[in-house]
Amino acid sequence: MQWDENMLAHLDDNLRELRQLLPFQISAHWQNRKNKALRALKSADSTAFKTWFGKNNRNMSSAKQGEELFQKHIQPLTETLPVLLVTPQVALDVVQLSNMTFDVVLVDEAHNIPKQECYHLFEMAKNLVVFGDSKQDMTPFAEDDFLEFCKGIGAKTNTLEYQHQDSPEEWVRFNKIAFGTPYKRLPSGRKAQEATIVANVEGRYDESTCTNDAEARQIIDWLNLIEPTAARTYPVVGIACSTVQQRDLIAGQLLKIRQRKQPGYEKIQQMLLSGLGVYQFAELQGQHVDILLISLTHGMTDSHGSLTRHLHFWNSQLGFNQLHVVLTRATQKMFIAHSIPTGLYSVLAADKISSAPAFFHTS
């Protein structure tokens, strides 16, 4: 067959038309299957139909066990709800009782799911697809997660190379150098210089409480810089802290502002409605935010310039994985508050106590 320009142009036009029509065709086909399944369920068991899909379905289903609901009516449910989103435990306790084999079972965040919770998934799926990132593993030395188990039994592996978030190109390049992320991307045209704000607040790190008051104040002050979007709603904002105690300190201060109706409480309330959350670094797994405010928390502990040795944690594999998580969560803008004076980080670089790759190093 000769592929001349006219034939290629005709093929391109047909493919473009197919892309436009295919979603509507799929939607219409699924709608027909859904309606047929609902009519069949209503005819065969009107009580079950009302329990699942009636106006008072919440009240009617509250007294029933999930196992009973799924076991008896899994066929119409999967026709009506083509995707079921459940935890591995629910899949074991509820869905497995239906004795149904699914075409595809997807397991997300497999690097943090114990393998013992997922063995039964092999029996439930014609095709089992496992997603995970060992560089975000919060138990890196345990080797007990489902991702590593699947690798160990010789499962076929593929690398997802493309970064689809519209984040500044320098962020992607930094993560590729620092963490070895294999991302490729289409040019976004956005510059990190416009989207990254870094401030040394010269705060004092309290080793007994693992908090930094100056950084907490800076994080809350930065909330005043967040502007509404064109739709008059606030972007999704995340606050990330390196210690659980710093997270609790900032969350407590935000709560106090709202309870006492101090200046800015209405804005904080609106941000909470838009998804504002306060996290320790590891808790950001699976989360993506428009704007991320980071408190690195650690710093000098006294007036003599002594740098806390708690910083050694970030040269461990677990610390390295947490940094990888936090620095890949923002899509639009990132604010970083720290308290590490220039030059003092070289002290820790010369005193590494871990064989893990050093994140804090001399230039």
- The pLDDT, as a whole number, for residue 186 is 62
pLDDT along the chain (363 residues), means of 10: 76 88 88 89 87 85 75 78 83 76 90 89 91 85 86 88 70 77 68 86 94 96 92 93 96 95 93 94 90 94 86 88 88 92 63 46 38
- The pLDDT, as a whole number, for residue 307 is 84
95 and 239 housed in the same domain = no
Between CA 169 and CA 31 the distance in angstroms is 41
| Helices 46-53, 5-44: crossing angle, 10 deg rounding | 120
201 and 142 housed in the same domain = no
Number of domain units in the chain:
2
Asked whether residue 339 is domain-assigned, the answer is: yes
Asked whether residue 33 is domain-assigned, the answer is: no
- Which residue segment(s) compose the domain that 261 sits in? 191-349
Q: For residue 194, give the nearest of 163, 169, 164 by alpha carbon.
A: 169
Asked whether residue 115 is domain-assigned, the answer is: yes
Which residues, at least 6 apart from 117, have a Cβ–Cβ distance to it below 8 Å?
Answer: 88, 89, 92, 146
Asked whether residue 203 is domain-assigned, the answer is: yes
| The domain boundary residue, chosen from 136, 158, 180 | 158
Q: Strand 277-280 and strand 125-130: pairing?
A: unpaired
Kindly report the CATH number assigned to the domain that includes residue 260: 3.40.50.300
Query: Is 147 within 8 Å of 170 (Cβ atoms)?
Result: no
195 and 154 housed in the same domain = no
196 and 345 housed in the same domain = yes
- The pLDDT, as a whole number, for residue 163 is 63
Edge-to-edge strands of the sheet including 289-299? Answer: 196-200, 330-339, 289-299, 237-241, 277-280
Asked whether residue 252 is domain-assigned, the answer is: yes
Query: 81 by DSSP, 3-state: which?
Result: coil
Between CA 169 and CA 335 the distance in angstroms is 17
207 and 249 housed in the same domain = yes
∠ at Cα 318 (312, 321), nearest 5°?
A: 110
147 and 290 housed in the same domain = no
Q: Which pTM was predicted?
A: 0.73
221 and 121 housed in the same domain = no
294 and 344 housed in the same domain = yes
80 and 151 housed in the same domain = yes
Residue 16: other Cβ atoms inside 10 A: 10
199 and 116 housed in the same domain = no
Asked whether residue 169 is domain-assigned, the answer is: no
Distance linking the first and last C-alpha atoms of the chain? 60
Which DSSP symbol is given to 227?
Answer: -
Which DSSP symbol is given to 306?
Answer: P
Residue 211 pairs in a beta bridge with 206
Residue 335 pairs in a beta bridge with 197, 293
- The pLDDT, as a whole number, for residue 266 is 94
Asked whether residue 3 is domain-assigned, the answer is: no
210 and 283 housed in the same domain = yes
- The pLDDT, as a whole number, for residue 1 is 56
102 and 223 housed in the same domain = no
Between CA 172 and CA 182 the distance in angstroms is 9
Asked whether residue 117 is domain-assigned, the answer is: yes
The residue type of 237 is: V
- The pLDDT, as a whole number, for residue 346 is 60
- The pLDDT, as a whole number, for residue 348 is 56
Between CA 355 and CA 316 the distance in angstroms is 7
